[in-house]
Structure 1
Amino acid sequence: MREAIDIHADALKRAALEAGPTAPVRNCPKWTVHDLVAHIGFVHGLAVSLAVNRPVKPVPPSGWDDLLGWWDGHRLALREALARNPGTPWGRRMAHETAIHRLDAESALEDVPKTRFSPEFANDGIDEFLTFLVPQRGLTIGVRITTPERTWTVGTPETEVAGAADDVYRALYGRPNNASVTGDRLPAV
């Protein structure tokens, strides 16, 4: 998962630099690119502190150049922490957190790239959503999720989500998608 973090963090940074700090993030209407980079830097820093069992709350600097450097530092520290602690669940969590926020950074561009995630990665993200995020956030859901490769059923399904793994992955994380969603609305994460 470290490689996935690097790939998606690099793409996120390219999009952030191209869009600029004041560009609005279409996928997250209340955020600018500056807000997005501050968030991902905070999350990467928090994951480092949890992976090495020294919980702290990182505080992002306000200036754009300082913020980018601060995030780069957390990215490197995350890479090292995950190399030292390969069994930690934070590698998987950060790979998907970074991939989803890559889409957000790309949504701030005038010409949004047609990024697609592989079925393997997207299905892993769906599983991570259901087995980690839903319980961690204390959400109660009843859902059946179907991709060409796999089906998940959680509780008594009141919602059904189906489609290509990439689209279902995006639907679960509340990003633009072409998945079929029937029944109750999915919880926001």
Structure 2
Amino acid sequence: MDRRSLDVVGTDIIRTHAHGLAEAARRVPLDTPVPSCPDWTMADLVWHLTEVELFWTHVITHRPSAPDQHERPTRVGDDELIDGLERAADGLVDALTGVDPAESAWSWADEQTVGFTLRRQSHEAAVHHVDGCLAAGASLPVFSPAFAADGIDEVIGVMLTGVPEWARFERRPGVIRLQTIDTDDSWTLAFGRMIGTSPDSGTEYDLDALEPVDEAPDVTVEGAAVDLHLWLNGRGDLATLTVEGDESFAHQLRSIAASL
């Protein structure tokens, strides 16, 4: 995690957005559908973030060990869900407070640091706060442009690009550039396929994939960092952005992101 990320994520972000989701959940019945998370109710959303935060609390508390001994919690009754989310968030914040982000800690990604958890859970809580507000019909939380740009960077750098050593990236037609107008950040990505066989499971993979490139794009999607962030995460509309070039590649990128 780079210096800029450390400047815009943190325990205050985790607490604010987890408690913000709890507040949104108190405004509506827990069986309210969540439009940005098909098949989920507000209760499902609250429990999901609770489970996630309990898991990463275990990871940080037992660092640098892998979470092999973590036991998935039993879902509590609806009358305990919202308070349970707030307790889980506070527990994660307590576990992270005062810990050097550079300290070793397990993660599912290449980066094995406390900072990975700090960054991932900041954006996890923020995006699910948005989900809760969309379900409750409440105003969306305010993200700083720098925080939103870091969210885009994390999605692209951690989730959308990179192939394991045992796989190869095969180019396909199309290069897309995402450009923020308020932070002057950009990401240029080539479309392709990740092809290979996992040596651990023997599973063969042939999946849509992306890789960073330094090339002229076929399409540029440009807008405010917050709007670009929400769109990339499936919580915003492409109509809020300016598209120059072949729009089909923008839809293709969203399809890949949605499959993760």
Structure-1-length-normalised TM-score: 0.86
Alpha-carbon displacement from aligned partner over 1:106-152 (angstroms, at most 9, x marks no partner)? 1112x3314342111101111111222225897x7954210012112
Aligned residue identity for 1:32: T
- Secondary structure in 2 matching 1:108: helix
Deviations 1:68-112 (A, max 9, x none): 333233212211121143411111111111111011101112x33
Give the corresponding residue for 1:9: 18
Q: Whole-Å Cα distance in 2 between the matches of residues 137 and 3 of structure 1?
A: 33
Paired residues for 1:1-189 under 5 Å:
1-52=10-61, 53=63, 55=67, 56-87=70-101, 88=114, 89-109=116-136, 111-135=137-161, 143-148=176-181, 149=183, 150-154=185-189, 155-156=212-213, 160-177=220-237, 178-180=240-242, 182-184=247-249, 185-186=252-253, 187=256, 188=258, 189=260
Change (3 A) 1:147 1:83: same
Seen in structure 2, the aligned counterparts of structure 1 residues 143 and 86 have a Cα distance that, compared at 3 Å, is: farther
The 3-state SS of whatever aligns with 1:59 is coil
Q: Point out which structure has higher relative CO (alpha carbons under 8 A, 6+ apart).
A: 1
Superimposed CA distance per residue, residues 13-32 of structure 1 (whole angstroms, 9 cap, x where no aligned partner): 11011122111111112110
Long gaps (5+) in structure 1 = none
Structure 1 residues 76 and 113: CA distance shift in structure 2, 3 A: same
Give 1:61 deviation, angstroms. Answer: 2.1
Question: Which structure has the larger Rg?
Answer: 2
Q: 1:49 offset after TM fit, Å?
A: 1.9
Higher strand share: 2
Alignment-mate amino acid for residue 175 of structure 1: R
* Moved >4 Å (runs of 4+): 135-138, 156-159
Measured on the aligned residues, the alpha-carbon RMSD in Å equals: 2.4
The structure that is helix-richer by fraction is 1
Contact 2:18–2:86 at 8 Å: present in 1 too?
Answer: no
How many residues matched? 187
Q: Percent identity between the aligned chains?
A: 31
Contact 2:19–2:86 under 8 Å retained in 1? no
Tell me if the contact between 1:5 and 1:98 (Cα under 8 Å) persists in the aligned partners.
yes
